[in-house]
Amino acid sequence: MLPRAAHLLGLQLSLACGCWTSGCQEMKSSPDFSLLGDYFLSGLFPLHDNCPEIRRKPEVTLCDRPNSFNGHGYHLFQAMRLAVEEINNSTSLLPNVTLGYELYDVCSESSNVYATLRILTLRGTQHITLQGNLPQYSPKAVAMIGPDTTNHAATAAALLGPFLVPLISYGASSAMLSAKRQFPSLLRTIPSDENQVETMVLLLQSFGWVWISVVGSDGDYGQLGVEALEEQATQQGLCVAFKGIVPFTAQAGDEQMEAMMLALARTTVVVVFASRRLARVFFQSVVLAQLTDKVWVASEDWAISSHIAGLPGIQAIGTVVGVAIRQRTVWGLQAFEEAYAKTDKRVSGPCPQGSGCSSNQLCHKCWAFTEDKMPKLAAFSMSSAYNVYRAVYAVAQGLHRLLGCPSGACATGAVYPWQLLEQIQRDTLLFNDNGDPLSGYDIIAWDWSGPEWTFRVIGASTWPPVQLDINKTQIQWPGGKGQVPKSECSEDCLEGHRRVVMGAHHCCFRCVPCEAGTFLNESDFYRCQPCRREEWAPQGSSTCLPRTLVVFTWRDPISWVLLAANTLLLLLLAGTAGLFAWHLDTPVVRSAGGSLCFLMLGSLAVGSCSLYFFFGVPSLLTCLLRLAPFFFGFTVFLSCLTSRSFQLVFIFKFSTKVPGLYHAWVQNHGAGFFVGLSSAAQLLICLTWLVVWTPLPAREYQRFPQLVLLECTKANSLGFILAFAYSGLLSICAFAWSYLGKDLPENYNEAKCVTFSLLLNFVSWITYFTLASIYQGKYLPAVNVLAILSSLCSGFSGYFLPKCYVILCRPDLNNTEHFQASIQDYTRRWGST
């Protein structure tokens, strides 16, 4: 600290203690509240309770008022006296060195400031000397034990910090006191509330309590604890339905407390992070409001306090579980207090009238104790007393090292506070870097099963990191039920249902099932995750299932039927080709087109062979050879059929009317030219289709959520449409010319069979496209195969089967005389008309 700042601080301190130096400097300490020694310790204990009151000007609070004695503070006071006596009688710790003490009653902020300033007075004087060299400042006490509350500890630490006087608090647990830049000389033997808050949140989580209320007490302990608890609870997914603070001026059953009780009725679990005094006021109000069958989570300041458990009617409020200072015993403390009560004590008089001083060093009640009127040393007071006891020993051990006592003889001389602080902080078995203790908590539960109240230790909290170990079977739940009470705004959703938050709290929600194709991941209850492409999920699912690969395989029964039919068609085509070749010079074959029939049969065979590529897992080759060969082959067949039908109609009906056109058609091989040109056009369309809109093997995910269809892409591309449209145009032309030849000679009249076969072709493809628009499943390729097979079979049966029938079954009609007679009959009939 800069010298100028030090002078200013010293000036402020000297002015602050002006009242005391002017009015009380002649008063001597009571022997039982002070002890002479080589080195002094100061102890600050709440021997009396301070009732808050409205003040219009600063004034010193007198502690020793009637009916305000604090038995708990008395046990802490005696624990320090016992520790000092043991150390002074020890031959191993500080041999030949005695510790002295001055013990102060800090019932209020003013008394706390008074005691702290008294500590800072120079040794052997009654005042604080202004000086610039703070490291050489030698106050009366080398260390302070206490005080008990966060407010008092923060004030004392702020005053002692510039002088680096060690201050070891036994009861101030607020996390703010761990800030070393603000409180460089403060240490403590009680765990930080940071660990307590983490322990409470873990406790709530371990029982599944997510809808809670939080109540704190006025002051740093309760307010900071509530804020930290709310922050951590929210981060861990818990919801604070209500948060309230019990004010210093609260009275049981007043209007403010009644409003708080009404708000607490909404939740089952209430966390009470409060000081003992205000916790008592709070639970008096709980009993008056008849709030029962609830779970109360206690902070360490009141968790095992008989001051709270002794309230009339409190056993009906429900279950109390909480965090308590780890149970430790100061051996000999009870006997020490009893021996103190047996001694002959005198009562010191009060401060002189009008002196303006405090009665910090006076305690009439302490002087008046007898064996039968001793305050009961309960578990809570014993644990707190142990923290005082351990704090005194921490100072003694630091002083032991500082004086060089481990070498065998303790050096004597001036000890500056900063030197002692450095030695105490080196005790890494007791304090961490923030000056907090390396200890844990007990997890307790109140027990009313016996004649008197008691509590059970049901678990422990250890750190770092904070971990819980709880035996839940030892807890008595409200109403005598064996089940853990639920504390939730909304019940958990079913599997596969996400939460939709309603209102300000995420714990209040409605459940909505996840859509098909999504699932609910346990890491996020508010958003459904999409399944991967290879997976699927039904509505309201908590996991994804693998999709089924679907392909039109060779082993499918429908495949066997279609393959058998296609193979039979190929055999018929081959047999027909052989039959026509055997009877090539017969009138029937010549009238059917002669050698042109073999081109027609071959084109149908090409289309039939393409059907074999529809089965099995698609590949690039099978995708290329599925449809294009069929369209090309069927186009060749239709071109031949159209040319043949046109030529017959032209010969019988128009050759005599336009003989020049007829001779030009014959001389220029019009039929062959048309077939070649038409086939070339379709070939060009198919090649363009395969190059520009190349069908590739692919996996289709969109049609069915649970299936992956293995198929060829771009099956309905523009190339397919052009090829299909061209073959459809040829079908219409063939149908038209065949229909025009319906009155030709009987042996040349193919209208009935051809038109029927072409109508069957139209119906097949209309059926296919209709089904494809409403069905996109596994058997769509089978429908496509069936449509192609129907077209091929209709073309074959409509044109070739009647001729095969004549060749095989009616050879009497397959002669020149029969054909000439048919032509003559047609000529006579048309000639007579």
9 and 31 share a domain?
A: yes
Number of domains into which the chain is organized: 3
- In this predicted model, which residue has the larger pLDDT, 803 or 236? 236
DSSP H helical ranges for 693-750: 718-740
Q: Are 77 and 47 in contact, with CB atoms under 8 Å apart? A: yes
- Return the CATH number at 414: 3.40.50.2300
Whose tokens are 């709440």? That residue is 46
Q: Name the helix (H) or strand (E) containing 325.
A: strand 318-325
Q: Is residue 534 part of a domain?
A: yes
Band of pLDDT at residue 101, cut at 50, 70 and 90: very high
Is the pLDDT assigned to residue 393 strictly greater than 90?
Answer: yes
- In this predicted model, which residue has the larger pLDDT, 713 or 351? 713
Is the pLDDT assigned to residue 67 strictly greater than 90?
Answer: no
Distance, CA of 434 to CA of 39 (rounded, Å): 26
Q: How many residues does the chain have?
A: 833
What DSSP string runs through 158-176?
HHHGGGT--EEESS---GG
Q: What percent of the chain has pLDDT over 90?
A: 33
Q: What would you report as the CA-atom Rg of the chain, rounded to the nearest whole angstrom?
A: 53
Q: Is residue 230 part of a domain?
A: no
Is the pLDDT assigned to residue 374 strictly greater than 60?
Answer: yes
Looking at residue 824, its pLDDT comes to 56
Q: Is residue 647 part of a domain?
A: yes
Looking at residue 752, its pLDDT comes to 65
57 and 126 share a domain?
A: yes
- What's the pTM value of the predicted model, to 2 decimals? 0.66
Other CB atoms within a 10 A radius of the CB of residue 261 amount to 17
Q: Which of 261-265, 340-344, 481-485 has the highest mean pLDDT?
A: 261-265
Distance, CA of 471 to CA of 473 (rounded, Å): 6
- Return the CATH number at 800: 1.20.1070
542 and 578 share a domain?
A: no
Q: Is residue 817 part of a domain?
A: yes
Distance, CA of 696 to CA of 619 (rounded, Å): 7
Indicate the SS3 state at residue 237: coil
Where does a domain end: 425, 443, 458? 425
Q: Which two tokens stand for residue 71?
A: 């038995």
Looking at residue 1, its pLDDT comes to 38
633 and 746 share a domain?
A: yes
Looking at residue 651, its pLDDT comes to 60
Q: Is residue 436 part of a domain?
A: no
Q: Please enumerate in sequence order all residues whose Cβ is within 8 A of that of 131, keeping only pairs 6 or more positions apart, or say none.
A: 6, 10, 137
pLDDT by residue (tens digit) across 337-365? 888 877 655 444 444 433 333 344 456 67
DSSP assignment letter at 536: E
Looking at residue 62, its pLDDT comes to 67
Q: Is residue 734 part of a domain?
A: yes
Is the pLDDT assigned to residue 5 strictly greater than 50?
Answer: no
Distance, CA of 99 to CA of 35 (rounded, Å): 8
575 and 516 share a domain?
A: no
Is the pLDDT assigned to residue 750 strictly greater than 80?
Answer: no
Distance, CA of 654 to CA of 465 (rounded, Å): 106
Q: Are 164 and 184 in contact, with CB atoms under 8 Å apart? A: yes
Where does a domain end: 377, 400, 425? 425
Q: Is residue 185 part of a domain?
A: yes
Is the pLDDT assigned to residue 185 strictly greater than 90?
Answer: yes
Looking at residue 741, its pLDDT comes to 60
Average pLDDT of the chain to the nearest whole number: 82
What DSSP string runs through 283-298?
HHHHHHHT--SEEEEE
Q: Is residue 776 part of a domain?
A: yes
617 and 531 share a domain?
A: no
Q: Are 260 and 243 in contact, with CB atoms under 8 Å apart? A: no
639 and 687 share a domain?
A: yes
pLDDT by residue (tens digit) across 753-793? 677 777 888 888 888 888 877 776 777 788 888 888 888 88
Looking at residue 133, its pLDDT comes to 75
pLDDT by residue (tens digit) across 511-557? 999 998 899 988 888 899 999 988 999 998 989 999 888 887 888 88
Is the pLDDT assigned to residue 26 strictly greater than 60?
Answer: no
Burial of 481 (0-12, 13-18, 19+ CB in 10 A): exposed
Indicate the SS3 state at residue 789: helix
Band of pLDDT at residue 50, cut at 50, 70 and 90: low
Looking at residue 274, its pLDDT comes to 94
- In this predicted model, which residue has the larger pLDDT, 767 or 195? 195
Q: Are 795 and 642 in contact, with CB atoms under 8 Å apart? A: no
Residue 268 dihedral angles phi and psi, to the nearest 5°: -90, -35
- In this predicted model, which residue has the larger pLDDT, 588 or 233? 233
533 and 605 share a domain?
A: no
pLDDT by residue (tens digit) across 309-337? 989 999 999 999 999 999 889 999 998 98
135 and 28 share a domain?
A: yes
Where does a domain end: 404, 425, 446? 425
Strand 141-145 relative to strand 167-169: parallel, antiparallel, unpaired? parallel
- In this predicted model, which residue has the larger pLDDT, 604 or 13? 604
Mean pLDDT lowest for which of 82-86, 404-408, 466-470? 404-408
Looking at residue 351, its pLDDT comes to 41
Is the pLDDT assigned to residue 61 strictly greater than 70?
Answer: no
Other CB atoms within a 10 A radius of the CB of residue 440 amount to 19
516 and 625 share a domain?
A: no
- In this predicted model, which residue has the larger pLDDT, 223 or 70? 223
Instruction: Identify the domain containing residue 522 by its residue range.
Output: 497-546
Looking at residue 345, its pLDDT comes to 53
Looking at residue 210, its pLDDT comes to 92
Strand 707-712 relative to strand 697-700: parallel, antiparallel, unpaired? antiparallel
Inter-residue long-range contacts of 578-587, CB under 8 Å, 24+ positions, other chains counted: 579/804, 579/807, 579/808, 580/803, 583/807, 583/814, 586/807, 586/814, 586/815, 587/747, 587/814, 587/815, 587/816, 587/818, 587/819
**Taking the C-alpha atoms of 9, 13, 15 and 16 in order, what is their torsion angle to the nearest 10 degrees?**
130
Is the pLDDT assigned to residue 682 strictly greater than 80?
Answer: yes
663 and 622 share a domain?
A: yes
Inter-axis angle of helices 109-120 and 150-160, to 10 degrees? 30
Is the pLDDT assigned to residue 164 strictly greater than 80?
Answer: yes
Instruction: Report the amino acid identity of residue 744.
Output: L
589 and 504 share a domain?
A: no
Q: What percent of the chain has pLDDT over 70?
A: 82
Is the pLDDT assigned to residue 132 strictly greater than 60?
Answer: yes
Band of pLDDT at residue 600, cut at 50, 70 and 90: confident
Cross-strand bridge partners of residue 586: none
Mean pLDDT, residues 448-466 = 88
Is the pLDDT assigned to residue 816 strictly greater than 80?
Answer: no
Is the pLDDT assigned to residue 737 strictly greater than 80?
Answer: no
